[in-house]
Amino acid sequence: MMKDMKEMKEMKEMKDKQDMEEMKEMKEMKEMKKKRKKMKKMKKMKEIVFDMKEIEMDMKEIEMEVKEMKEMNEIKRATQKQAGAVTWVYWDIKMCPVPDGFHPRLVRPSIKRLLEKNGYGGGPLNVIAYGKLADVPLETLREVFSSGIDLKLLPHGNLSGYIDLSYPANIMVISDPKACPYSTSGLQALGKNPIQPFPYHSLSTLLMKYSGVVGEETAESALWDCLVCARDPPGQSFATFISHLSDEEHHERLIRRFHRSCY
């Protein structure tokens, strides 16, 4: 009898222990499930936040495009006198780079088409890419140059003081408005016609609307000049431009200019 009791007790203990373990396992499983659910929720939240950010970015892009579209449609038509005048386009190629997905050779023909459409097609067109050209990919410069755009190396990438003010002309500046040293009224006082809006600040809409196919455009010969070294006459080949970029004297002059501007 005693033995039976003992056995029964032991069996009960065993059973209890088993139950306890099962309960523990169940609890762990439940917790795991909870955790997994939470993780899934977190992942979804992260995805939503990411989507929201994307939407926000898209909205900003659309806003910019609308602004640029408006800007492009706002270009003031040339008067009869302006239509026949020479047009100078100064393009800060560092501040307003060729947008992704467009060939650098398309910039000049696109500008030309935009100007012609607004009545500025009568006189000669000069397009100059200026800025810190050493920071622009060489391949881009090569393509730009070969499409007939002049290259101008400026001491600090700043246009200030370099627009030729000696005769009437239409002037278009493509640059960051904060970096453009010329004002509409300042240029008008000097007898120039700054093409409005001034400065024009981005190439994307212009290229989207006016760029044709690479190869269709007619290339014109271009010149390059270095206003750090005040060379004369301007260079005619891209090869000499490249060698000038690594020219020792050019670098020394650049450094001297930089030091002078620090005082």
Site residues, Zn ion (CB under 5 A): 226, 228-229, 250
How many other C-beta atoms are found inside a 10 Å radius of the C-beta of residue 164?
Answer: 10
Q: Which residue, 108 or 250, has its beta carbon nearer to Zn ion?
A: 250
Q: Which residue, 78 or 228, has its beta carbon nearer to Zn ion?
A: 228
Q: Which residue, 3 or 259, has its beta carbon nearer to Zn ion?
A: 259
Strand 87-92 and strand 150-153: pairing? unpaired
**Overall residue count recorded for the chain in this entry:** 263
Contacts of residue 117, defined as CB under 8 A and 6 or more positions apart, other chains included, come to 210
Query: What are the residues facing 150 on neighbouring strands?
Result: 128
Q: Which residue, 129 or 228, has its beta carbon nearer to Zn ion?
A: 228
How many other C-beta atoms are found inside a 10 Å radius of the C-beta of residue 234?
Answer: 14
The nearest distance, CB 237 to Zn ion, in angstroms, is 15
The nearest distance, CB 213 to Zn ion, in angstroms, is 35
The nearest distance, CB 224 to Zn ion, in angstroms, is 10
The nearest distance, CB 253 to Zn ion, in angstroms, is 6
Edge to edge, the sheet with strand 193-194 lists: 193-194, 170-174, 87-92, 125-131, 150-153, 224-226
